[in-house]
Amino acid sequence: MENKHLTFADFMSYISRNKGMLWEYFIQHITMVVIGLGLAVIIGVPLGILCSKNKWAAKIILFITNILQVVPSLAMLVVLMLWLGLGTKTVMVGLFLYSLNPIARNTYVGLKQVDPSYLESGKGIGMSPFQMLVKVRFPLSLTYIMSGLRIAAVIAIGVVTIAPLVGGGGLGREIYAGLNSNNSLRIFAGAIPAAVLAIVADLVLGILQRKMDLSKRKSASAAPAPAKIQNIG
């Protein structure tokens, strides 16, 4: 296809003609990202908690997740493809492994950054270690955890664009179809929504992170109150 003198009207016309297919790719893209990130949160947050409780576990877990993080995404997906075969399962497992490090590390850092005075207040009113984790340490760490999720989400949205190379779907299919056919409209139709999705995810998660930070300050200012009451008594 001739790619010269393409206009915005040409682009919108292509989107209009192929909106059904593009919407399907868009949903596939989001689904893979959500499932991969969801698995990383389910596994990564407990790993971060374990890291905060055991120094040697922290070294081993963070070392392994660091290695997973620095492996090139295409190499990771190709290795997984040899084990799991072609398809979206390979992509989602790859996203899960890629997202573990920012989520586990930020959970660990967040739990370690909790002000000791709040922990002493919790102990002073007779909280068990589990209650301390659930009611004090974890809520005060949410902004760090959300930061890790924000980083992982942006990375995952970008990684999914290479999913077609291992049999996956998503907007990357349109990008690679455009590259193979020298069709700029198809490249833009896949790349622009993927870029917008990454920007929106970063903005939305950033807003949630800031809101959690405000709630953290409120809970932090209220946390010492029981200890003060106890001292007065």
Per-residue model confidence as pLDDT tens digits over 125-164: 888 888 888 888 888 889 999 999 999 999 999 999 999 9
In a domain, 86, yes or no: yes
Domain count, the chain: 1
The pTM of this model reads 0.84
Here the CATH number for the domain that contains residue 131 is 1.10.3720.10
In a domain, 227, yes or no: no
Q: Note the residue count of the chain.
A: 233
In a domain, 228, yes or no: no
In a domain, 194, yes or no: yes
The per-residue pLDDT for range 65-83, each reduced to its tens digit, is 999 988 998 899 999 999 9
In a domain, 229, yes or no: no
In a domain, 233, yes or no: no
CB 168 within 8 A of CB 93: no
Domain range for 153: 8-221
In a domain, 122, yes or no: yes
CB 148 within 8 A of CB 103: yes
